Structure 1
């Protein structure tokens, strides 16, 4: 049986309890109670110093559950189970929990974390419906070149291949470039291109203001790509192929 932590009092109305899944453990949140997530919270994610003591908060209001970002630096990517709808939850923002299964992913330092919220209520009656709340995006078709997909997979490999979802590590640009056999100049140029492409499609968080790429764009790129199923574990084989081609190129006279 998975570990369970009960929070709050008995149900106070029509709203049903939430269940939170993180690293194989389960937590229950009862209506009328609030549930915090962070470094020192009801759900303690990690002792990562880059993570807020209290980062996210789940609570009931107006007859439904909400998720709020109560931190002041970090953001989170929230998506439905299909990846068809995603939202970027910036500091101070909040969103209603309208799907029966909602995935939450965020980065602190070089680590990326994810957990799943399970709700009994499905306000849209289907996980394929798009939310019109502020900050929510219906995913547009994204066509990636082979090298763009390879770059994203190199950055996402740890998250895509983890046995139990919960925590992954995003490699440095140098590590990712070495993984696919590219120079840093090539890697950075391709990173600029893919971030610019997604930015033009309305993906938030890939630029830190007009003309300035965000310093945490690699983390945001990974969060978006994994949350929206832009890449999957099936794509990891591309890395080995690229490494093999790079090795053969070095051995050629």
Structure 2
């Protein structure tokens, strides 16, 4: 009888040395091999199904929560008012570094409202407009001519300067507000919700989670031309103008609608 050296070969040799041992261990070995084969095949099939599922295009509903970046509850981001003399051209800058966009939010667009002091101007203005004439108990004045322009490019304010949804300039001589807008986030069109195809939630949201849009300075140029009216009332040689800026932010979420 040879000495047992503890090697794997010696162990196997001793296990199957006699017929009784073979009869006891052989079914166990075969059963283990069968179970291993079944488990391996099932694992491969499950892995294949998982890969196919991951690669499958799905329809996701993208929902946007929209609100104004507002620190004091007035639904405005910036407010500015000043007096323009006849012929004045002023550029007013609003620095977006001074505001805090909420976590998980992105700047979608920026609205600017330019308000003359007559009729639709400051709170407490009294009177009425008729055919471009401001009429009040104190007299009659012709509405002044105001023009407003959003100045800049992507070097001063990162946005979609050529977007069809923009209103970069406007004018008025009827004592009405002027409304301007610049879309800052690519392809953002005041969305409430829409469907998008992607293989997973991360990819569905990836177009709407890009940092860097809506950074910089909002520059508003205001030109004033005081109109002289031949009616009664004090001479008009200036205009108090108010500028309101609303920075609109959005937070996107995705929910699975269906699988292709």
Q: TM-score, normalising length from structure 2?
A: 0.23
Larger Rg: 2
Q: Which has the higher helix share?
A: 1
Scaled by the length of structure 1, what TM-score is found?
0.24
